[in-house]
Amino acid sequence: MKTLLLRNTQLVDGTGAPARMADIWVRGDRIAAIGQHLTVAADEVLDVAGLTVAPGFIDVHTHDDAMVLREPGMLAKLSQGVTTVITGNCGLSLVPLVSDDPGSPLDLLHRSEFRFAHLNDYAQALAHQPPSVNVGALIGHTTLRATVMQDLMQAATPDETDAMAALLDEALSHGALGLSSGLFYQQAYAADMAEMQALVRVVGSHGAVYVTHIRSEMDDILNAMQEAADTAQAGSASWIMSHHKCAGPRNWGRTIETLALLERLSQRQNVGTDVYPYSAGSTLLREDLVDGIIEILITRSDTHPEMAGRYLADIAQTWGTDQLQACRRLMPGGACYFQMREDDVRRVLAHPMSMIGSDGLPHDERPHPRLWGAFARVLAHYCREEKLFSLPQAIHKMTGLSAQRFGLQDRGVLREGAFADLVLLDPDRIQDKATYENPRQMCEGIDRVMVNGAWAFVQGQVQGEGTGRFLRR
């Protein structure tokens, strides 16, 4: 069994506790010992003085379901120190739909990978060609609807709800982390409380989590939050609100209200939220998000691929039309919407309930920079430069808190017996480089990344075969 000794680390353990100096002894895939001046034999000894060692980061909000199969090196995530990705967010998962034409918005996950009727099939595919990161999977509500329903524009019938519940129960029995929904999307918007509560009761019976992209993040956000919280409570399930934001100029500043509501709800039920460190979101091209006020950057257009990377207002001017008509001509596609205000982003990032998730769309031609830069941006801009929180607090939001919320045992913390998912970084040098104009750029300051006791990323390069695992709840 291979052993490694890291000497002279500044250890940040993922719990939020202050940094301390320590040696770390790794034996196989686990941390065998932590202490000062360890006297143990090791196959490899590294003196990492000047570097901070933290648990591998957990990206709690990804759409990497197909990416871990198609590009198992996962450079965009490893290069930021991410060692675990949570897939299946916003109601969109590969499992259990089998289809050659999944349609929108499921095609955000890539059209050609919907071939897994059962969670174990997906897990076996990952075991056959292990990715460089660990994978935990949510089951998407929209995917369940597409699997059993003919008409997604209406609420499910009792028989359809029962069929979805049976599929969900099987996946949870096989280790899915929970259920996600995206009632914001048209294909799930018609779902009523009876449909959602029936499914979330299955979630609660397994002790799993309910993660939701709420019905509205704009004017009706408080009602949408209450709906999601009531659904989770009715099913006795933990609730996580995805990518918390107050979108659109009329709602800027309202995170004071939404965070207060989250705090009140947390008094009666288990509540969490995730956030990405940018004032622009990214999703499909949607007419209802074109208001003529916010800037909109096109990331993908199936009809006019040459327009990716240009702003909608410029395209409309070039075509001699208004932005709404230009949006229609560009559809289907994707865009970045500059719909948040910086003080709201800061307020959510700083809140004790918030975890960090990238919410990147890896198959966009020009993805939002959060795909390559979210975790480095938290550490560089908001922690080091803005001093919004301390380094241990920032890392807790990326590791220990995330593992706790999603039930990832022995992950997200540095302690004896935990899995050896580690990131070695220079807190003075870490810097996100991805921009809206040039989004596919690695960050700086991540020296090494270890996944399950093996080096996965060293000085800018993915290392060898993947050692990531499918993580069952």
Please tell me the distance from the alpha carbon of residue 237 to that of residue 420, in angstroms, as a whole number.
30
The answer to whether residues 394 and 418 belong to one domain is no
Domain with 14 in it: 1-55+412-429+443-461
Q: What is the pLDDT of residue 472?
A: 97
Q: How many residues does the chain have?
A: 473
The answer to whether residues 92 and 129 belong to one domain is yes
Please tell me the distance from the alpha carbon of residue 212 to that of residue 230, in angstroms, as a whole number.
12
The answer to whether residues 158 and 34 belong to one domain is no
Judge contact between 239 and 210, C-beta under 8 A: yes
Note whether residue 449 is domain-resident. Answer: yes
Judge contact between 360 and 74, C-beta under 8 A: no
List the CATH number of the domain containing 73: 3.20.20.140
Domain boundary among 336, 354, 376: 336
Note whether residue 372 is domain-resident. Answer: yes
Domain boundary among 319, 336, 353: 336
Phi, psi of 223 (to 5 degrees): -65, -40
The answer to whether residues 267 and 329 belong to one domain is no
The answer to whether residues 324 and 376 belong to one domain is no
The answer to whether residues 90 and 162 belong to one domain is yes
List the CATH number of the domain containing 420: 2.30.40.10
Q: What is the pLDDT of residue 319?
A: 98
The answer to whether residues 82 and 103 belong to one domain is yes
The answer to whether residues 313 and 243 belong to one domain is no
Question: Count of domains in the chain?
Answer: 3
The answer to whether residues 61 and 131 belong to one domain is yes
The answer to whether residues 383 and 455 belong to one domain is no
Note whether residue 385 is domain-resident. Answer: yes
Note whether residue 466 is domain-resident. Answer: no
The answer to whether residues 227 and 172 belong to one domain is yes
pLDDT tens for each residue of the chain, 473 residues long? 999 999 999 999 999 999 999 999 999 999 999 999 999 999 999 999 999 999 999 999 999 999 999 999 999 999 999 999 999 999 999 999 999 999 999 999 998 999 999 999 999 999 999 999 999 999 999 999 999 999 999 999 999 999 999 999 999 999 999 999 999 999 999 999 999 999 999 999 999 999 999 999 999 999 999 999 999 999 999 999 999 999 999 999 999 999 999 999 999 999 999 999 999 999 999 999 999 999 999 999 999 999 999 999 999 999 999 999 999 999 999 999 999 999 999 999 999 999 999 999 999 888 999 999 999 999 999 999 999 999 999 999 999 999 999 999 999 999 999 999 999 999 999 999 999 999 999 999 999 999 999 999 998 999 989 999 999 99
Helices (H), 131-220: 141-148, 158-173, 186-189, 193-205
The answer to whether residues 74 and 182 belong to one domain is yes
Q: Sign (positive/negative) of CA torsion 334, 63, 401, 397? A: negative
Q: What is the pLDDT of residue 365?
A: 84
Apex 425 CA angle, 368 and 359, nearest 5: 20
Please tell me the distance from the alpha carbon of residue 213 to that of residue 149, in angstroms, as a whole number.
21
